[in-house]
Structure 1
Amino acid sequence: MSDLKGGSFGLAHPSEVPVADTPEKTSADKEAAATHGSDESANENQSDDEISQDAQAGVQAIEAFTKVWTTPHIIMAYVTIWIIIFVDAMQSSMSSLLTPYVTSSFKSHSLTATTGIMANIISGLAKLPLAKVLDIWGRPQGFASMVFCLTLGLIMMAACVNVEMYAAGQVFYWIGYNGVAYCSSVFIADTSSLKNRAFMMAFITSPYIITMWIGGPLAAAFMKGPGFQWAFGTFAIVTPFICSPLLILFIINYRKAAKLGLLPKRESNRTAWESIKHYAIEFDLAGILILAAGLALFLLAFNIYSYQAEQWRSPLIICFLVLGLLLMIAFPFYEKYVAPVTFLPYHLLLDRTVMGACILAAVSFVSFYIWNSFFPSFLQVVNNLDLNKTNLVSFTYNIGSCFWSFVVAFAIHKTGRFKWLALYFGVPMNILGIGLMIKFRQVDQDVGLIVMCQVFIAFAGGTLVICQQMAAMAVVTHQHVATVLALESMFSSIGGAIGSTITTAIWTGTFPGRLYEHLPAEVKDDYMTISRDITVQLGYEYGSPTRHAIAQAYGDSQRYMLIAAAAIQVVSFVAVWAWRDINVKEFKQVKGRVI
């Protein structure tokens, strides 16, 4: 691998990895060093080249893996990961464009954001058990299970006959999709030095720069041709195929490590039932179910109340709210007084940098899902863009943030610091972009102004995502890297679910009413049919009184969404301010042949 603007970006054996000299350590650096030191006290007499004896089996296995793999295998692994992320990103961009048409085909366009709520909650909560799978059993086992979930979700979405089945498919799809991305991130962290890791994190998101140009034409081609079912069915075939080379690479190098006697020995005298019971306790399945059910019931109440005749007074909605709230209150008590093994690693959450990174991730996703959930529909109905142009505008965020993440990675590589980037650039730029959209995401506004706002938000997103991941990883040892990445990702997913709930509540609470007010008298009786189906909305000629009325209703709802999305960003300042100002050049976190 070549140098990047003079910065070392090559492969190095552990004995060859230099530790940068700095004139003086700040108090934050010393505090972080103390954190690392306390975690590694059991290994203080161990050589840097030895496998960590106190780490879990999965961590020991990946350290053995990195000791035996060759430079061609390293290159092959990273190229394969890039291809996997490329295909998944292409499929994801297509899926987001197709979702309004899928829900509309079942006369449920208002449920566009709702279909992802359970998916966000469950896929987010699944990250911590997945982290334990990676640490206890190994990286290949976790990756393979996520590929299975992703493929199953695509099959269910392809075969859906109603919006409920589509939503269930979304749950498996997003568990697998986010799980594959998470496993890739953990593998990158396993095989890269801390000071170069931001580059590697930017590398695995770079496919989005290309896929934004493909998703729109692909979605349009399927909609004009075989239909959305085949769009999902095609990727159900492609996904296992493109993921297989990485699994094969894992198997080859793990077998090589086993022959050399580097892998830890695993012995268990448990029966099948004892194993099921053991892992149910180890993964705290009861705690996961309590929290998932509580969040799902509470948040879904805000999404489906408008479909009930009595709305908020409906017995079903009241039951959802009360039971959901009781389960969420019960969760911490269960964890403290009942659970043999706790679901959340509280010893890590007590670290202000880890907690600050998690809160930033949650707030960023709450804000993003509030303003983005109905954005593709807005562009088509209000700005009269086709699917291809809608894709280009709505995915400006992806291309901008992925490009900018390389700039952020270079800054971290050169300075060793990341807090200043998030505090003085990322958060302010995010607020600026969202705030300007309050003015520009309205009827008769030039779409170029919306793109400008998207660019601002993209630069902010590229900064914050890299910085929050670096913050979470910089204060722990290798054996906790998978866990803190899972925590950060879990907070992101739950934030996405909350954001989807807020935007759906705003939409259902404002759009139908505003639409009725704006519609010409002759079509007022059709306002509910119009509000629930994007194809009906697009069926009215652009510029006609009815289409203009629909566009005005969109603008009214969007204004409320954007105000909420901007206001919640205040929490981001507090979260980033809580981080320690750590120099990542000071710590050696991983072992073996790394980048």
Structure 2
Amino acid sequence: MTGTRSDDTKKTMVAVPVPEDALEMQPSNPAAAAAEQQLAGLATIETIKKSWNLRSIVLTWIGAALVSFAVSYDQQTYSTYQPYATSEFGSLSLLSTIAVVQNVVSIIQQPVAKLADVYGRLPLLVACVVIVTIGEILLASAKNIQTFAGAQVFFTVGVVGLHLLLVILAGDSSDLRHRALMNVVPYAPGLITAWTASYVTSAVLKDTSWRWGYGVFAIIVPIISIPLLATLYYHQRKARKQYPVETGPSLGLKHHCLVIQQLDPIGLILFCAGMALILVPITLASTSTNTWKSGHIIAMIVVGVVCFVGFVLWEWKWAQWPVIPLTILKGRTGSFGIIAAILDYASWYTTSPYLYTYLLVVRNLSVKAATNISIIIPFTAVLGQLGAGVVAKYAGRYKWITAAGIGLKVLGLGLMLRYRHADSSLGSFAVAQVLQGLGEGIFNTVIAGMQGAVSESLLASIVALFVSSCGVGGAIGAAVAGGIWTNVLPRQLHTNLPASLQAQLAEIYGSVVVAIQFPWGTTERNDINRSYDATMRILIIVALVLASLEFLAVLMLQDFNLKVVDQGRDYGGAVIGKTTAKAAAVPPTDFDGMAKLDHTDTPLEQFDVDRET
């Protein structure tokens, strides 16, 4: 808790250890603070950690790996089916709009983390599995682009929620030294699914249709989630019997209303509405008759700006529990980590929505080959994150590991720009994707640094804030990609296509299937390729600029040693790295409440809060 130290306390000068939750998010007024109580979800995971051992953790993560495997397969094949689905609806250009919707929806992960702290990890995992299943059913049965786009909401909430909860579970079950390594576990199945997904998509598109590609996961995901859910349920019951806990008086409906209030629904709605109403029109403007002069485009942007202004005013003046935890953002690691995350995903999503389409058209690749190239980045990202996790475990310095990753990403984008042409080396283009993927994976080490800058009680909040920031960046990047694609490509086609094909311009622009029907090597196909190539060039340049800014943001992170910070952490039970269920010793403290550690090895933001304690 923050506050002013009394004169009597100053005179005693007693050595008092700083509580682990000193950097706790606080409501903005005393009345709200009085309403706080011990969160049932946090109490439950604390009792589970007291009761489980290494075997329990391993069994839990076997179940988690199965869920990760299914979700990874789902995501790897999902993007392959999208161009065929949107082409069937005659709306290929709306790929970026769908990406914006997905990323805006992913911003809601902050409330998911709060609900996980209140009600527990298990109920939220069950809810996410159900939501993913609903999303897959809606995707498979969509009859128009509106239903297909709406299904993205369910799919994205469920999938991103599952990933978030698995990363939170990694934090629950590991110490700080091993956390960067454990954070890769939810993404590790990508090492296998990345190269087998192309066989699945090719078989599905050959023998059935893209609808079955989505529909089959409505069966797989709930079934394969049973081992993880059953394991958590067993340990939860066991822990409650051995270590009964009190979570404050039950308030019934009043308690649930308080929880909803703490989610800051007004701020969340204003923020998401502002993001959507500003970014979506960017991707839709070229489809309107008068482009930016269209009344509905102008109206959406104006309302979006009003929502953003309302969001800022609400969070500043009236929000008791702000949707953006300002306490976390006061430190360099938290604030610049969030900026770097936004820029990272903005850069990635500037090129990714149309990469697969580009490979089919400009590179003339088969479905299988295009899928293999498009999944190089997620595949090598897992390798990069795994390697970075090992280095972070022994070196402890997360900042320069993260900076090295962004350097690789910038190099990869530069090579992608150089080798994007139809007649350039496909191998060199693939190497560019490898470098970008390694850089993306290494960058995720920043999560461990951000977790090291706050207490264990804020683990879920900091992870959710990072994931939400990635969603913001992804929405911005997808909107930029859509704005460029929908404005530049039609003009390029109009300029390059012969007069005999001008009547088919809308069909060529709106469907990848129509674009690749023109034989390779013909004048018409070369004109189409040149138009796509010119559009992709602009997308890559924008991504390169954003990645360069990301590198500067990473340089502003505080450089502290994760191993030293880990020595002062009390994990409350058995975790990977400390499986004896014995609390870590708290380092000696001086009268001012600060641990006697090398200041270069400890987050300054913790010192700042300690001085106020």
Query: Aligned residue for 1:354?
Result: 334
- Residues 1:451 and 2:430 are matched in the alignment: yes
| SS of residue in 2 equivalent to 1:590 | coil
Query: Aligned residue for 1:18?
Result: none
- Residues 1:104 and 2:87 are matched in the alignment: yes
Query: Aligned residue for 2:521?
Result: 543
Query: Aligned residue for 1:9?
Result: none
Q: CA deviation at 1:141?
A: 1.4
Alpha-carbon distance in 1 for matches of 2:71, 2:258: 34
1:392-436 residue CA offsets vs partner (Å, 9 max, x unmatched)? 11111122121122221121111111111122x122221111122
Q: Would you say the 8 A contact 2:21–2:456 is kept in 1?
A: no
Query: Aligned residue for 2:123?
Result: 141
Query: Aligned residue for 1:334?
Result: 314
Query: Aligned residue for 1:372?
Result: 352
Alpha-carbon distance in 1 for matches of 2:460, 2:438: 26
Q: CA deviation at 1:453?
A: 0.5
Q: Would you say the 8 A contact 1:427–1:460 is kept in 2?
A: yes
Query: Aligned residue for 1:72?
Result: 55
Alpha-carbon distance in 2 for matches of 1:488, 1:214: 30
| SS of residue in 1 equivalent to 2:216 | helix
- Residues 1:281 and 2:268 are matched in the alignment: no
Query: Aligned residue for 2:147?
Result: 165
Q: Would you say the 8 A contact 2:62–2:228 is kept in 1?
A: no
Poorly superposed stretches of 4+, deviation over 4 Å: 33-37
Alpha-carbon distance in 2 for matches of 1:276, 1:189: 26
Alpha-carbon distance in 1 for matches of 2:281, 2:256: 34
Query: Aligned residue for 1:407?
Result: 387
| SS of residue in 2 equivalent to 1:579 | coil
Q: CA deviation at 1:457?
A: 0.9
Query: Aligned residue for 1:28?
Result: none
Q: Would you say the 8 A contact 2:39–2:247 is kept in 1?
A: no
Which letter maps to 1:350? Answer: K
1:217-271 residue CA offsets vs partner (Å, 9 max, x unmatched)? 2112221222111111110011111112111111111111111233334532334
- Answer with 223-232 or 557-566: which moved more: 223-232
Alpha-carbon distance in 1 for matches of 2:251, 2:20: 35
- Residues 1:582 and 2:560 are matched in the alignment: yes
Alpha-carbon distance in 2 for matches of 1:574, 1:415: 22
Alpha-carbon distance in 1 for matches of 2:241, 2:478: 50
Q: 1:200 to 1:155 in 2, by over 3 A?
A: same
Query: Aligned residue for 2:421?
Result: 442
Q: CA deviation at 1:69?
A: 2.0
Which letter maps to 2:191? Answer: I
Q: Once the two structures are aligned, what percentage of the paired residues are identical? A: 27
Q: Would you say the 8 A contact 2:99–2:353 is kept in 1?
A: no
Which letter maps to 1:283? Answer: L
Q: CA deviation at 1:332?
A: 1.3
Query: Aligned residue for 1:230?
Result: 212
Aligned with residue 443 of structure 2, among 451, 464, 469:
464
Alpha-carbon distance in 2 for matches of 1:262, 1:542: 70
- Residues 1:83 and 2:62 are matched in the alignment: no
Alpha-carbon distance in 2 for matches of 1:475, 1:589: 15
> Aligned ranges for residues 122-271 of structure 1 at < 5 Å?
122-124=105-107, 126-271=108-253
- Answer with 252-261 or 475-484: which moved more: 252-261
Which letter maps to 2:175? Answer: S
Alpha-carbon distance in 2 for matches of 1:238, 1:441: 37
**How many residue pairs were aligned?**
546
Q: Would you say the 8 A contact 1:365–1:492 is kept in 2?
A: yes
| SS of residue in 2 equivalent to 1:112 | helix
- Residues 1:384 and 2:364 are matched in the alignment: yes
Which letter maps to 2:235? Answer: N
Q: Would you say the 8 A contact 2:96–2:482 is kept in 1?
A: yes
Q: 1:402 to 1:35 in 2, by over 3 A?
A: farther
Which letter maps to 2:549? Answer: V
Consecutive unaligned residues in structure 1, runs of 5 or more: 1-32, 41-52
Alpha-carbon distance in 2 for matches of 1:339, 1:229: 43
Alpha-carbon distance in 2 for matches of 1:39, 1:301: 39
Aligned with residue 38 of structure 1, among 14, 22, 40:
22
Q: Would you say the 8 A contact 1:35–1:476 is kept in 2?
A: no
Q: CA deviation at 1:589?
A: 5.0
Q: Would you say the 8 A contact 1:360–1:468 is kept in 2?
A: no
| SS of residue in 1 equivalent to 2:454 | coil
1:76-112 residue CA offsets vs partner (Å, 9 max, x unmatched)? 1111111111111111111101101110000001011
- Residues 1:592 and 2:570 are matched in the alignment: no
Q: CA deviation at 1:484?
A: 0.3
Q: 1:35 to 1:116 in 2, by over 3 A?
A: farther
Q: 1:94 to 1:415 in 2, by over 3 A?
A: same
Query: Aligned residue for 2:463?
Result: 485
Q: CA deviation at 1:303?
A: 1.0
Alpha-carbon distance in 1 for matches of 2:40, 2:274: 33
Q: Would you say the 8 A contact 1:153–1:171 is kept in 2?
A: yes
Q: 1:458 to 1:191 in 2, by over 3 A?
A: same
Q: Would you say the 8 A contact 1:358–1:468 is kept in 2?
A: no
Alpha-carbon distance in 2 for matches of 1:478, 1:60: 13
1:342-400 residue CA offsets vs partner (Å, 9 max, x unmatched)? 21111011111011111111111000010111001111111111111111111111221
Alpha-carbon distance in 2 for matches of 1:122, 1:407: 31
- Answer with 276-285 or 289-298: which moved more: 276-285
- Residues 1:293 and 2:276 are matched in the alignment: no
Alpha-carbon distance in 2 for matches of 1:307, 1:223: 29
Q: Would you say the 8 A contact 2:134–2:218 is kept in 1?
A: yes
Aligned-residue Cα RMSD (Å) equals 1.8
Consecutive unaligned residues in structure 2, runs of 5 or more: 1-16, 25-35, 577-613
Q: 1:113 to 1:558 in 2, by over 3 A?
A: same
> Aligned ranges for residues 309-324 of structure 1 at < 5 Å?
309-324=289-304
1:124-166 residue CA offsets vs partner (Å, 9 max, x unmatched)? 2x11111111111111112111111111111110110111111
Alpha-carbon distance in 2 for matches of 1:198, 1:71: 19
